[in-house]
A and B are shown apart, each in its own frame.
Chain A
Amino acid sequence: MAARFRPDPTFYPSPTMAMQAPPEQLAYVVLLDPTGAKRPDAMGVVDVDPASKSFAQLVGQLDMPNIGDELHHFGWNACSACLCPYAPHPHVERRYLVVPGINSSRIYILDTQPDPKRPQIVRTIEPDELFRKTGYASPHTTHCGPEGIYVSALGAPDGGGPGGIFMLDHETFDIRGRWEIDRGPQVLHYDFWWHLGHDTLISSEWGTPNMVRNGLVPELLLGGKYGNSLHVWDLRRRKHLERLELGPEYQMVLELRPAHNPTRPWGFASVVVSLKDLSASIWLWFLEGGKWQIKKVIEIPAEPADPALLPPLLKGFGAVPPLITDINLSLDDKTLYVSCWGTGEFIQYDVSDPHNPKKTGSVHLGGIVRQTAHPNQPDVKLGGGPQMVEISRDGRRVYFTSRCTPRGTSNSTPAASTAGWSSSTCRRTARA
């Protein structure tokens, strides 16, 4: 990998500096075959420059060579973590996309140069190699870290647990093996992120590959078998410290969004659904008096609906669950965006005081029952709903994806709506 003479201009020593960056011009978004069997998934390139003639259009597309990968949350090879004061190496290039396939356990490395609109596959890590070197399967979220690329995985090659994190070398993309040295009681895995200033990693829980591969399993869900905890880790010693349990009724603790400012030891976690009342919730984790704690700060109730309009699993409830599929926090740590895929609502909260979020805005689009139309096509009822969310560095624009024809619509599962999203603004860049 070529080294630069000056630091990569997209690395920022602080979130404030990142907010002053020039606006993004291109966005990368995964295009999924909802059947997983007919054609390969693809990486799409969208023009997001309002001054461009092809604004808001797909200007590039790279089809994967295989069918059924189910590409997931991808990320860059390098980011501002390369400025980490204890192991700085800011002259690497932020140009490769690490794209994991959750269904195939295959990982593609895409080069976005020389033409960012035409990314090319430069390396493929085949599932066998991943299984052999890590004992993990179903890779799904990547973060560039101070000393390598961290990738999370849902479970083991046989489809069971435990899920965890493995590492890729950020220069060669060779697999370096499992990250955990002592995983304690942790079995289920989903997202992870960190407080670099506190040597702390936080991870969340979904389910093993067997529990999610063909959509959620109703018996497991109603039995409260999906994840309901956060885990706190010693990032430096790769050791499990403690489990923060939300309560048995909270199912699927997924997205983690820590504050970008490294002196703020708090962050938000989203919970897809509560078995008690189908509500969704946002929780705040925070360090207080040397102890990590967690509390519910936002609850979004289910919307009553005519059972005739509901999929079988929901008929008995007579309500649509919000089903939070993604959340995102602006670089100044002041605004939180929440995608409610079930009700088709996209909500904005002022989280200047993270302990007391205030709802400041809402947009409806799609939804299981509402099916709100897009303003550009008011006559077309939309399925799906807001899904993965990305905020521009300056915090002035928000992008989100939808998934209109999720696999397993019968039980309207977020498991089927796992479109990955990232853009030239990489939501994982910001740290000082």
Chain B
Amino acid sequence: MSDAQAWLALLGLGAFHGINPGMGWLFAVALGLQEQRRVAVLRALLPIALGHALSIAVVLLVIGVLKDALPDAWVRWPVGLGLTGFGLYKLVRCRHPRWVGMRVNWLDLTWWSFLMATAHGAGLMLAPVLLGWRDGAAVDHASMPEHMHHAGHHAQHAVDAAGGHAGHAQHLAELGASTPLLGLLATALHTLGYLLVMGLVAVVVYEKVGLAILRKAWFNLDVLWAAALVITGVVTLAL
């Protein structure tokens, strides 16, 4: 996986998490409605993003450390199977965390968001991106000749040859050296996408659209979410 692909995947998954009403924007809107001012919506966004980032970071750091310490298959198989299993479980049994409480300070919000992201396996969903990013760098760097026959890599190699900058950017993964560090970078990118989309949806719903949208447009994201977990699990296994 090239840097550009990884960035896109991380930002995209961030957007996917950000658009889920259960992941933050709805809470931010509700706090705004309760206090009847927009500043309450905005004030909620950063703590929610922080909690989300912490949950993601923990998962990616653990996977990153394991990745550097253990043989490839020892990490990929448990992570892939775990993701697939967790996704299948969520398809069958869509439980949700039991939080009760609207009178929240920033610490509560951060903790709430951490719990939600963790319970929904938000960090796990990013595992294949991290593993792919890492492997992509390693492959491009160390074993390019062996893969020369492969069309994708062939094209990539052509790009590398054409422009030195492109080549450097693509190898961001190896500059950071360790996978945990890459995991932190991934967390930051993901959280950026998440925060932007969550904030945008929250403000637009609060200011313009109104809550009626919930009745029409709120698809059962639990199903989609569970499906995403299964897909990322399978992708991890097939990497």
Binding site for B on A (CB under 8 A): 3-7, 9, 11-14, 17, 83, 85-91, 145-148, 171, 196-199, 235-236, 262-263, 432
Contacts and interface: CB of A to CB of B under 8 A. Distances in A.
Interface string B210-234: 0110111011101100000000000
Given A86-B102, A88-B26, A147-B100, A13 B219 contact: no
Contacts of A263: 33-34, 36
A86 B99 contact: yes
A263 B216 CA distance: 24
A107 to B, nearest CB: 21
Contact of B220 (A3, A147, A236): A3
A171 B29 contact: no
A86 B27 contact: yes
Contacts of A235: 100-101
Contacts of B215: 7, 9, 11-13, 17
A11 B211 CA distance: 12
Nearest to A9: B215
Contact of B26 (A9, A14, A85): A85
25 contacts: A5-B219, A6-B216, A6-B218, A13-B215, A17-B211, A17-B212, A85-B27, A86-B30, A87-B96, A89-B22, A89-B94, A89-B96, A90-B214, A91-B94, A91-B222, A147-B99, A147-B100, A148-B98, A196-B102, A198-B103, A235-B101, A262-B33, A263-B33, A432-B33, A432-B211
B43 interface: no
A181 to B, nearest CB: 12
Given A6-B219, A14-B211, A17-B215, A88 B99 contact: no
B27 A146 contact: no
B223 A3 contact: yes
A contact patch SS: loop
A236 B30 CA distance: 17
Contacts of A17: 211-212, 215
B167 interface: no
Given A83-B214, A171-B95, A199-B101, 16 more contacts: A3-B94, A3-B223, A5-B219, A5-B223, A6-B216, A6-B219, A85-B21, A85-B102, A86-B99, A86-B101, A87-B97, A87-B98, A87-B99, A146-B100, A235-B101, A432-B211
B220 A5 contact: yes
A12 to B, nearest CB: 7
Contacts of A432: 30, 33, 211
Contacts of B98: 87, 147-148
Interface residues of B, number: 31
B112 interface: yes
Contacts of B99: 86-87, 147
B212 A87 contact: no
A146 B100 CA distance: 7
Nearest to B221: A91
Contacts of B222: 3, 89, 91
Contacts of B94: 3, 89, 91
A239 to B, nearest CB: 12
A87 B100 CA distance: 7
B51 to A, nearest CB: 12
A196 to B, nearest CB: 6
Closest 10 CB pairs of A and B: A85-B30, A13-B211, A236-B101, A147-B98, A91-B220, A85-B26, A85-B27, A199-B103, A197-B34, A5-B220
Contact of A86 (B100, B211, B212, B219): B100
A90 B218 contact: yes
A197 B215 CA distance: 20
Interface string B61-81: 000000000000000000000
Nearest to A195: B102
Nearest to B22: A88
Counting chain B CB atoms within 10 Å of each CB, the highest count among A13, A86, A88, A148 belongs to A86
B24 to A, nearest CB: 9
Contacts of A196: 102
Nearest to B95: A171
A236 B99 CA distance: 8
The CB with the most chain A CB atoms within 10 A, among B30, B100, B103, B219, is that of B100
Contacts of A11: 215
Nearest to B23: A88
Nearest to B101: A236
Interface in B79-115: 94-103, 112
A171 B94 CA distance: 10
Contacts of A147: 98-100
B18 to A, nearest CB: 15
A91 B221 CA distance: 9
A432 B210 CA distance: 12
A18 to B, nearest CB: 11
B186 to A, nearest CB: 27
B226 to A, nearest CB: 11
A432 B112 CA distance: 20
Contacts of A86: 27, 30, 99-102, 112
